[in-house]
């Protein structure tokens, strides 16, 4: 998936089937590796779910040296 194809949200139908929630955990891990986090999991019936993922924004920080934590002063 290139940066031009990145969407802020993904909605996926998931069929847990006989593998149960282990298959869902594998999908969650895959999406997490792609930068998405689960926002909502809605059961439709016994084995079918609708999963909503949100793209995590990546923050770039620049190390500017030591910082003073004012709460510890």
**Residues 1-38 pLDDT 10s:** 455 666 799 999 999 887 778 888 999 999 999 999 99
Cα separation of 36 and 8, whole Å?
A: 9
Confidence (pLDDT) at 60: 53
Confidence (pLDDT) at 20: 74
Confidence (pLDDT) at 59: 56
Placement of tokens 């929630």 in the chain? 21
Task: Give 64: exposed, middle or buried? Use CB within 10 Å, 0-12, 13-18, 19+.
Answer: exposed
Confidence (pLDDT) at 54: 95
Confidence (pLDDT) at 16: 86
Cα separation of 70 and 54, whole Å?
A: 33
């Amino acid at each position: 998936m290139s940066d031009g194809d990145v969407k802020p949200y993904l909605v996926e139908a998931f069929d847990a089937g006989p593998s149960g929630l282990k298959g869902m955990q594998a999908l969650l891990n895959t999406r997490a590796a792609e930068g998405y986090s689960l926002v909502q999991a809605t059961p439709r019936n016994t084995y079918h779910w609708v999963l909503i993922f949100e793209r995590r924004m990546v923050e770039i920080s620049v190390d500017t040296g030591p910082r003073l934590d004012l709460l510890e002063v």
